[in-house]
Amino acid sequence: MRSFLLLAGLFVSTTVFSQPTAPERLKTVQADPAALKAAVEAGKKATFFCANCHGEDGVSKTPEVPNLAGQNPAYLLEQIRKFGSGERKDQFMQGLIKVLKDEERVQVALYYASVTVPPSAADSAKVPHGKELFTKLCVRCHGEQARGNELFPRLAGQKLPYLQTTIARYRDGTGIRNNQLMSIATSTLKNDDIAAVANYLTQLP
């Protein structure tokens, strides 16, 4: 009897204290239309402090700051986690994200994922060469439409200066984030090539 009560107690404590992880919670909310709608609405309210840099709707008004709108929610959630843990370094971002609870992080990711990203103007003369390079070097990870996935970011519709600066930093190894796959993919690109890829990506819907 004593052993039974002990096992029962362990079961109850495990049930009570076992909480779903943020990625698990994300999938649960996505599977429930009503919960998804509520999460998106809550996420919009929670992102008020992001608007100064990333824009009120996640479409950046600053050329060097990335759009968050239209990103895969699982990708966004993982980046939020990395900033919160210090794996990604940015003093301002780290400070803001640390105040977000797990549920709020899920809501923020789902809100930004729900927003449509408008394409930006591009130099049409550079687009064909950019498309050729993107198809050759980038499509395997970022997808045919450059919309990313759970592991890799959406590049379609990003700001031209942000794209050019980021690609160049990966090529030159001068950025805060260094990635072996990105270093290999960009290693042969000349500045004109980078400009072409950036112009191709910025005009994608």
Q: What is the pLDDT of residues 60-119, one digit of tens each?
A: 989 999 999 999 999 999 999 999 999 998 888 988 898 899 999 999 999 999 999 999
189 pLDDT exceeds 80? yes
Q: How many helices (H) and strands (E) does the chain have?
A: 12, 0
What one-character DSSP code corresponds to residue 119? Answer: P
Q: Which of 68, 89, 114 is the last residue of a domain?
A: 114
Output the average pLDDT for the chain. 91
In a domain, 53, yes or no: yes
153 pLDDT exceeds 80? yes
In a domain, 26, yes or no: yes
Whole-model pTM over 0.85: yes
Confidence of residue 204 (pLDDT cuts 50, 70, 90): very high
Is the same domain home to 71 and 143? no
What pLDDT sits at residue 91? 83
Is the same domain home to 86 and 134? no
- pLDDT tens-digit series, residues 2-30: 554 444 454 444 444 578 999 999 999 99
Domain limits at 76? Answer: 20-114
Residue 126 phi, psi (nearest 5): -95, -15
Residue 4 phi, psi (nearest 5): -65, -45
In a domain, 7, yes or no: no
Q: How many CB atoms lie within 10 A of CB 81?
A: 17
How far is Cα 152 from Cα 145, in angstroms, rounded to an integer? 13
Is the same domain home to 103 and 162? no
Domain count, the chain: 2
